Amino acid sequence: MQANETDSPVPWPRLGVSRTGQVLPTSAGLSSLRSIDRGGLTTVTYVDTVRAAARHWRGGYGGTNGCQLSDRWPDRDEFDVTGHPHALVVGAGIAGTAVGLVLRRIGWRVTLLEARPEREQPLGSYFSLADNGRTVLRGLGILPAVEAVGTATHRISFHDHRGREIGSNNQASTLIRRDRLGGALREAARRAGVRIIHDARMVGLCDDGVGGAVATLADRSSHTGDLLIGADGVHSRTRRLMFPEHPSARFTGVLDGGGSAPRVDGIAPDGVLRLTFGNHAFFGHQALPGGEVVWFQSMLAGEEDLAAGPRADPVDRWRTRLVELHRSDHRPISDIIEASTGTVIRWPVYDLDPPSRWSRGRVCLIGDAAHAMPPHDGQSASMALEDALVLARCLDTADDISDALVSFQQLREPRVTMVAGLTRRTGSLKFPTAPRARRARDAVLGMFIQAGVAASEDVNRYHLDWPELAGHPEACRPDGVSTESSSSS
């Protein structure tokens, strides 16, 4: 070895780079973190090794001048798979499976650690997946699979408690159950080679800066990766271990839920999602193509409801209470509740003061674990999908994982703060607590909805397209507008 080379403390298989700039795996020794010229063959830096490994996997380099490369994943004996960086992702929900998919796209190995046993089915109510989230799924090639288990919404219509339309949003969205979206993402992740381990509850983590990030599980086993991503929701165990002094998520006093009615007289499928700001609670419904009417509802709740959820209850347990709650609202609402069968899924809504840092060393947070998004505008899933794509872009272009994580927060924090602010303002109008407050709310509701629709259109137009994102930072800007301008709109 020459005196000007510095060995890496982490063993990475070496990639050869020819004088013509072509990349090919070699079997000789371990690489250095610095470039070393060896007379016709250069050992590349760690980040270039990662990129080249990903490009080799994607078949991104052609073979000329005697350097022929395969477009398949290399066998272990020709290119050790440990040469690909390894991410541990805590949580196999929407955020976790999405980030697993995009990291596979740039050549990472991914292991998802899911606390729930595989046999335990997650609960799921319907929500509206906005176009900015659909764009991420389209870029990943799985939007058709998601749309196959959802229902197209062509328009969202807003109503006051009398049934009068006070605004509309004509942007396309997908009405889908949260568990079905999660299922489509998990299936796509498995097909992409993401390893999913169930019944894997993390109880400890360590990042010593040398040997990788280590997740310790309740069964005393452990997993090590070059990066650990906490995608474990608003009650994130990862966040508590990273920042034990940070306040836990707090109950907002709101209980969300939903159910369905096989058919309701006078309600036919028309591709319109109708949202009502009721006298005492909020209600949304849409008829599916087969005639089934699905609905979701938000109301103020007490501590006795907090202790009961999240859970699926027989609809008869809630029917009388919900009918009474919406008795003074326009009639289709009570008809829908009366006709409902099966179960009502209820869950308490929590909010979180985001930590000032989303990462520490090689451990980071994404989705609700980093920035809990209230459910009032249906943007929680879309924000998680955007997070996944931006994080992958940062990891693909940075020279250091810690630097990538800092850049990720800098890119995402202004946008999620803006969207969360809009969402909380929407939520503040859903639950008037007294007749005077209700009259004041109703007096400005139409104007507020019009302004909110305009703001949500800006939010939904924020498109992150995978091919541009991988190589062009400007892809993080919505329709050519800078991130700062979008956040302030």
What is the chain's mean pLDDT, rounded?
77
Judge whether residue 53 has pLDDT over 80: no
In this prediction, residue 37 carries a pLDDT of: 32
Mean pLDDT, residues 468-475 taken together = 40
Which residue would you say has higher pLDDT here, 127 or 66?
Answer: 127
Mean pLDDT, residues 472-484 taken together = 34
In this prediction, residue 180 carries a pLDDT of: 94
Tens-digit pLDDT profile for residues 93-125: 999 999 999 999 999 999 999 999 988 877 778
Q: CA dist 468 to 134, 390, 393, 463, 482, Å?
A: 16, 11, 10, 11, 16
**Which of 9-13, 177-181, 182-186 bottoms out in mean pLDDT, i.e. has the lowest?**
9-13
**Which are the contacts of 176, defined by CB distance < 8 A and separation ≥ 6?**
126, 127, 129, 146, 149, 150, 151
Q: How confident is the model at residue 301 (pLDDT cuts 50, 70, 90)?
A: confident
Which parts of 359-444 are beta strand (E)? 359-360, 363-365
Mean pLDDT, residues 173-180 taken together = 94
Angle at 326 between CA 323 and CA 328, to 5 degrees: 120
Tens-digit pLDDT profile for residues 248-278: 999 888 888 899 999 999 999 999 999 999 9
Distance of CA 483 to the CA centre of its chain: 19
* Contact between 272 and 157 (Cβ < 8 Å): yes
Tens-digit pLDDT profile for residues 218-234: 999 999 999 999 999 99
Which parts of 288-334 are beta strand (E)? 293-300, 311-314
**Which of 28-37, 43-52, 379-388 bottoms out in mean pLDDT, i.e. has the lowest?**
28-37
Which residue is associated with the tokens 């000329």? Answer: 64
Which residue would you say has higher pLDDT here, 312 or 367?
Answer: 367
Which residue would you say has higher pLDDT here, 399 or 148?
Answer: 148
In this prediction, residue 316 carries a pLDDT of: 87
Phi and psi at residue 394, to the nearest 5°: -65, -40
Which residue would you say has higher pLDDT here, 468 or 252?
Answer: 252
* Contact between 277 and 328 (Cβ < 8 Å): no
Distance of CA 206 to the CA centre of its chain: 24
Tens-digit pLDDT profile for residues 380-414: 999 999 999 999 999 998 889 999 999 999 999 99
Tens-digit pLDDT profile for residues 278-290: 989 999 999 999 9
- Indicate whether this model's pTM tops 0.85: no
Judge whether residue 310 has pLDDT over 60: yes
* Contact between 370 and 216 (Cβ < 8 Å): no
In this prediction, residue 82 carries a pLDDT of: 54
Distance of CA 56 to the CA centre of its chain: 28
122 pairs with which residues across the strands? Answer: none
In this prediction, residue 77 carries a pLDDT of: 30
Judge whether residue 162 has pLDDT over 50: yes
In this prediction, residue 458 carries a pLDDT of: 72
Q: Is 194 helix (H, G, I), strand (E, B) or coil?
A: coil
Please give the Cα distance from 77 to 27 (Å, whole number): 8
The pLDDT > 90 percentage for the chain reads 49
129 pairs with which residues across the strands? Answer: 174
**Which are the contacts of 151, defined by CB distance < 8 A and separation ≥ 6?**
174, 175, 176, 286, 288, 289
Q: Is 469 helix (H, G, I), strand (E, B) or coil?
A: helix
Phi and psi at residue 211, to the nearest 5°: -90, 10
User: In terms of residues, how long is the chain?
Assistant: 489
In this prediction, residue 197 carries a pLDDT of: 97
* Contact between 79 and 95 (Cβ < 8 Å): no
Phi and psi at residue 218, to the nearest 5°: -65, -25
In this prediction, residue 354 carries a pLDDT of: 93
In this prediction, residue 65 carries a pLDDT of: 27
Judge whether residue 74 has pLDDT over 50: no
Q: How confident is the model at residue 31 (pLDDT cuts 50, 70, 90)?
A: very low
In this prediction, residue 186 carries a pLDDT of: 94
In this prediction, residue 422 carries a pLDDT of: 85
- What token pair was written down for 213? 């990030």
Angle at 130 between CA 417 and CA 138, to 5 degrees: 110
Mean pLDDT, residues 142-163 taken together = 94
Judge whether residue 451 has pLDDT over 50: yes
Judge whether residue 32 has pLDDT over 80: no
Whether cis (ω within 30° of 0) applies to the bond prior to 310 is yes
Q: How confident is the model at residue 142 (pLDDT cuts 50, 70, 90)?
A: very high
Q: How confident is the model at residue 176 (pLDDT cuts 50, 70, 90)?
A: very high
Judge whether residue 42 has pLDDT over 70: no
Mean pLDDT, residues 237-245 taken together = 96
How many CB atoms lie under 10 A from the CB of residue 241? 20
Which residue is associated with the tokens 């703001």? Answer: 455
Mean pLDDT, residues 304-313 taken together = 71
